[in-house]
A = this chain, B = another copy of it.
Amino acid sequence: MTSREPRVGERMGVVTLVGGGPGDAGLVTVAGRDAIAAADVILTDRLVPRAALAWARPDAEIIDVAKVPGGRSTDQAEINRLLIEHAKAGNDVVRFKGGDPFVFGRGGEELVACADAGIEARVIPGVSSAIAVPAVAGIPLTHRGLVQAFTVVSGHVPPGHPDSTVDWAALARSGSTLVVMMGVRTLDAIADALVDGGLDPATPAAVVADGTLPSQHVVRADLATIAAAASEAGVGPPAVTVIGDVAALDLPGLDSGHDP
């Protein structure tokens, strides 16, 4: 354990946000691995590739912030507090996050918190689950001649919710492949909103659960039935849903890389 009490005049540590990618440790970046290997303190999430923690120094302090005490709404403030406290104590801190820190990852809030506290912070982007999870399941989000755009949308705030900033009817007409993250529980409402917005109920759809992990499984149906099919298959988070013509593709030979 190298976490130390602050000493007067000592240099402050640097905070590095590292994107962990979708789950396979081989999909962490080279710069991300170097940052993990050099860190004094590592704050990890629930969804990071655990095997990547083997790259840490034997004396590094690893803190699983999924287990940080406090209610759900206070977690982020507590994480920010820990980042600042350890950096102020002179430790180089890695904030190791699932996926990409900036795709629904609240990385921006952590950067601002560090800056406000006078702590130097930097980001090493990760492989985004939104793109890589469909890819390793054989579904490219774009395909020449088929589609020229894709939209990644959070299902955490469902259609019609007062906090929603998304016009689902416009998305239904946009012609882009739709990728729904964090939408297992709201998939039924999302599919309804898209059909109401004019998207063909027969549009291909696929849910990829545990993407890039050995437990990966894919449920395929059409837009009208995908929520029921995923529910019947017992799909739970984390899962990525793809809606659009590419969801009917099943490209050969896809693989996720490998563990270190």
Chain A residues at the B interface, C-beta cutoff of 8 Å? 19, 21, 24-34, 100-104, 106-109, 111-112, 114-115, 120-128, 131-132, 134-136, 140-144, 146-154, 156-157, 164-167, 170-176, 249, 251-258, 260
Known: A29-B26, A124-B27. A173 touches B176 (CB 8 A): no
User: CA A219 – CA B38 in complex, angstroms?
Assistant: 34
User: CA A257 – CA B152 in complex, angstroms?
Assistant: 25
Closest chain B CB from A191 CB (angstroms):
16
Q: Is the CB of B171 within 8 A of A167?
A: no
Q: Is the CB of B114 within 8 A of A125?
A: no
Task: Specify which of B29, B112, B115, B176 is in contact with A151 (CB 8 Å cutoff).
Answer: B176
User: CA A140 – CA B19 in complex, angstroms?
Assistant: 13
A172 neighbours in B (Cβ, 8 Å): 170
A124 neighbours in B (Cβ, 8 Å): 26-27, 255-257
Known: A21-B29, A127-B29. A164 touches B140 (CB 8 A): no
A106 neighbours in B (Cβ, 8 Å): 144
A103, A121, A174, A249, most chain B CB atoms within 10 A: A174
Task: Specify which of B120, B136, B174, B252 is in contact with A125 (CB 8 Å cutoff).
Answer: B136
For A146, the closest partner residue in chain B by CB is: B165
A102 neighbours in B (Cβ, 8 Å): 131, 134-135, 140-142
Closest chain B CB from A53 CB (angstroms):
13
User: CA A165 – CA B114 in complex, angstroms?
Assistant: 42
A150 neighbours in B (Cβ, 8 Å): 151-152
Q: Is the CB of A29 within 8 A of B28?
A: yes
Q: Is the CB of A170 within 8 A of B166?
A: no
Q: Is the CB of A125 within 8 A of B121?
A: no
User: CA A146 – CA B173 in complex, angstroms?
Assistant: 22
Task: Specify which of B27, B109, B252, B257 is in contact with A112 (CB 8 Å cutoff).
Answer: B252
Q: Is the CB of A253 within 8 A of B132?
A: no
For A33, the closest partner residue in chain B by CB is: B30
